[in-house]
Amino acid sequence: MHPDSDASDPLRERLATMTADDQWVLGHAFIVVSTALLALGLRAARQAPGWSPAVRRALTVAAVAVGLYVVETVAHLAAVVDSDALAAGDAAPVAWAHVGLSAVLYPLSGWAIASLALATARGASPLRRVVAGVGLLAGVVHAASIPLMLLLPDLEASRLFPVAAIGIALWTLGTGLLGAPRTAPAGTEVPDRAPQPVT
């Protein structure tokens, strides 16, 4: 649903082409909603019993990082207001704010997701490791997509966006269906417990 553009064009022209597409608003509205739900889901998942302390820490970091990424998705959607300005070569503050935020928050949220996926794989069952592997790959692709697009514009890095999005969706679905382990995986940290008084 994401509009396409020619990677050989300058970034301003590509943004002008994409934001003028009728699919921009609907597609990015879905992204805003789904990212907000992911951030809330990560926060809620932290409360589930069974996660090791390492996974809980990774969940906290991921919830914060994805929560910040929600801000970028809103700016991403709002860039449509600068469509005419981009095409005319005029100032386009919202569109460029989106680019600036994405250069920081895509890597931040992507690495947070990858780190969380890696944390859930430690000491886990083979099935959980497969699901975590999907999340790890998706997080790395998400983190790299914007830097690659900005640094290597001829690479067609925009094709990485749906790969990362589908991967994160599959990882989220798989992790949700599996749920938190009933007990912390073997070899992981366990919370310190105060000694019980002898009676």
pLDDT in tens, 6-45: 566 788 888 888 888 888 899 999 999 999 999 999 999 9
Identify the pLDDT of residue 44.
92
Does residue 156 carry a pLDDT above 90? no
Does residue 147 carry a pLDDT above 90? yes
Average of pLDDT values for 50-62?
93
Does residue 154 carry a pLDDT above 50? yes
Identify the pLDDT of residue 155.
73
Neighbour-count burial for 98-122, b at 16+ CB within 10 Å, e otherwise: bbebbeebbbbbbbbbbbbbbbbbb
- In sequence order, what are the residues at sequence separation of 6 or more whose Cβ sits closer than 8 angstroms to the Cβ of residue 186? 123
Identify the pLDDT of residue 157.
77
Q: What does the block give as tokens for 84?
A: 């005419």
Name the average pLDDT for the chain: 87
Average of pLDDT values for 97-125?
94
Rounded Cα–Cα distance for residues 65 and 170 (Å): 19
Long-range pairs, 69-74, Cβ under 8 A, ≥24: 69/35, 69/39, 69/105, 69/106, 69/108, 69/109, 70/32, 70/35, 70/36, 70/39, 71/101, 71/105, 72/98, 72/101, 72/102, 72/105, 72/106, 73/28, 73/31, 73/32, 73/35, 73/36, 74/32
The answer, as to whether pTM is greater than 0.85, is: no
Which segments of 57-181 are extended strands (E)?
Answer: none
Q: What does the block give as tokens for 128?
A: 């959980």
User: Which tens digits make up the pLDDT trace of 68-89?
Assistant: 999 999 999 999 999 999 888 8
Rounded Cα–Cα distance for residues 120 and 143 (Å): 19
H or E element at residue 61: helix 53-78
